[in-house]
Amino acid sequence: MAQKRRSNSKSKQSFTKKATSILTRLFVWFLLVSVLWVLIYRFVNPPITLLMVLRNIERKSEGKALKMEKEWVDFKDISDNMKRAAVSAEDQLFLKHIGFDVNAIEKAFKTNKKGEKVKGGSTISQQTAKNVFLWPGRSWIRKGFEAYFTLLIEMLWSKERILEVYLNVIEMGDGIYGAEAAAQAYFGKSCTKLTRSQAALIAACFPNPRRWTPKKPTRYIKHRQYLIMKNMRRLGPLDF
């Protein structure tokens, strides 16, 4: 009987050892692959994101044609108005933080705890990490991965690169991704030539681009546009 117990104990220890070894190897591989992935995207423009794929799967299931309007524009060519509008609308401390705005997160947590309308406290860095490397959703697991990739891009990319990628992959309408596609769709011009008012109107729709559109701005969106333009004046030029 004692020998049987010892045998069971040894087999349990052996299983634990093997499981620990496999998990350790998986963790190391994840670290290596994720760091390499982020490093590659420091120099190579992301060709597609999971969100773009999922949106087209949704369109297909609804019997709609596939749609993915996007065109990459280098950071230096994007209108300064569009850059300042994005920062003014989404993350005014973008140049000062290291990926997270603690005050915004605390405010969002308190608001959500009260059961009021759910608010996010995501910075441009967090949104970029989510848009490029992850899937849409609000689970704690995804949030954990988002925090990890946010730290990676803050360490391995410049702020210019983060904003450049953000403005080129963000969803800006049904099947419309990036500032260039949005500028062409809504104003018939390149994002290099957007006025302050036009850039602010596009940025005003960022929180829910499938519900709101610069083509038919609601009273709420017009008010957001006004506030963003006000913040743009206060923000001034972006000193990278």
Per the CB < 8 A criterion, the answer to whether 152 and 30 are in contact is no
Predicted local distance difference test score (pLDDT) of residue 118: 52
- Indicate the Cα dihedral angle 35, 40, 45, 49, nearest 10°: -40
Q: How far is 165 from 235, CA to CA, in rounded Å?
A: 21
Residue 205: both structure tokens together: 């729709």
Global pTM value? 0.88
Per the CB < 8 A criterion, the answer to whether 73 and 111 are in contact is no
Amino acid type, 127: Q
63 has pLDDT over 80: yes
82 has pLDDT over 70: yes
Q: Does domain 45-234 have CATH number 3.40.50.12160?
A: no
State percent of the chain over pLDDT 90: 75
Per the CB < 8 A criterion, the answer to whether 211 and 234 are in contact is no
Domain extent listing, the chain: 1-44, 45-234
Distances (CA, A) of 219 to 3, 7, 166, 212, 232: 79, 74, 27, 11, 20
111 has pLDDT over 70: no
Residue 105: both structure tokens together: 């997160």
State the average pLDDT for the chain. Answer: 90
95 has pLDDT over 70: yes
Residue-wise pLDDT for 193-216, tens only, equals 999 999 999 999 999 999 999 999
Residue 55: both structure tokens together: 């949106």
Segment 32-38 mean pLDDT? 97
Q: How far is 212 from 206, CA to CA, in rounded Å?
A: 8
Q: Return all residues near 148 (Cβ < 8 A) that are at least 6 apart.
A: 34
Q: Which residue carries 């609601």 as its tokens? A: 218
SS3 128: helix
> Which has more pLDDT, 185 or 100?
185
Segment 58-82 mean pLDDT? 95
Residue-wise pLDDT for 146-178, tens only, equals 999 999 999 999 999 999 999 999 999 999 999
* 172 membership: H or E segment, kind and range: strand 171-173
Q: How far is 62 from 175, CA to CA, in rounded Å?
A: 14
State percent of the chain over pLDDT 70: 87
